[in-house]
Amino acid sequence: MVTAQMIKELRERTGVGMSDCKNALVEADGNMDTAIDLLRKKGLSKAAKRSGNETSEGRIKIVADGNAVYVVVVSCETDFVARNDVFEGMLDHFITIRKGETTDEAAIAKAEELKASEYTLKVGENMQIRTLTKIEGDVIASYVHSNYKNGSVVVAKAGTDTNILKQVAMHVVASAPQVISPSDISNADVAKEKEIQLALMEQDPKNASKPKEILEKIIDGKMTKFREENALLTQPFVVNPDQKVGEVIGKDSIIAFYRYAI
């Protein structure tokens, strides 16, 4: 008996549409490997041979529309494919799908179906839809690097300078902050880093004669630096490293940021 789960698995392994997967499984009496061979023989499954291939290339596209931006991130096997017109058209198609859906999950499901039925054979490579989302806010800026493999979206409060916010979006790509403010770094992360740094210091012969309480005071200073280095607002601004991001944009301006990378 051919089940919905078997059809789903075959589609994921081959990139072929649901209907063709079902027919192949029926013809193969439910044998997965035989069904894959059938799809290959019919010329339907280039991706069946490539489904395990690494997808380290790809493209990020961000489209602004009023107080919203739409982000699509799709990875593939080669830079050649990521830069061709078919791949670009596919990203546009996925964004159109997201505009017509109310949730990311619904949009991704439709995009996966479209990828399998229309684009997998055209592209001829393994592809993964990593992100397909809509982000809204009073003021939004985005940035995609010239390699199309790194991008960001930054959401800020009403009244925030849009030109500076665009520079902050570029900064997010360049400096890869983890959180907005130093206080957003979890105590668990700080404790883990402190444990590591303390162990390293205790192993250093130069610290052999220093009491543990002195080492812990030094570590506390390192932890302050650790928080600041990983927080957007306290990182040196890439446009002017003499200033911190928060000094330029305002410490209460940023609501959220998102960083994307392939």
The residues spanned by each domain of the chain are: 4-49, 53-136, 182-247
Residue 204: phi and psi, rounded to 5, are: -75, 120
H-assigned helices in 61-186: 79-82, 85-99, 104-114, 120-123, 162-175
**pLDDT at position 53:** 59
pLDDT tens-place values along the chain, 262 residues long: 889 888 888 877 776 778 888 999 999 999 988 888 787 776 665 555 555 556 789 999 999 999 999 999 999 999 999 999 999 999 999 999 999 999 999 999 999 999 988 898 788 888 999 999 999 999 999 999 999 999 999 999 999 999 999 999 999 999 999 999 999 999 888 888 888 887 787 788 887 788 878 887 888 888 999 999 999 999 999 999 999 999 999 999 999 999 999 9
Residue 20: phi and psi, rounded to 5, are: -65, -35
Long-range Cβ contacts of 194-201 (<8 Å, 24+ apart): 194/219, 194/222, 194/223, 197/222, 197/223
Tokens, residue 167: 């520079």
Lay out the sheet containing 68-76: strands in order across: 57-65, 68-76, 128-136
CATH superfamily for domain 4-49: Ubiquitin-associated (UBA) domain (1.10.8.10)
Task: State the Cα–Cα distance between residues 27 and 23, nearest whole angstrom.
Answer: 6
**pLDDT at position 168:** 98
Report the predicted TM-score, pTM, of the whole model to 2 decimal places.
Answer: 0.74
Q: How many CA atoms lie within 13 A of 144 on its CB side?
A: 16
Q: Would you call 130 helix, strand, or coil by DSSP?
A: strand
Does 53-136 carry CATH code 2.60.120.260? Answer: no
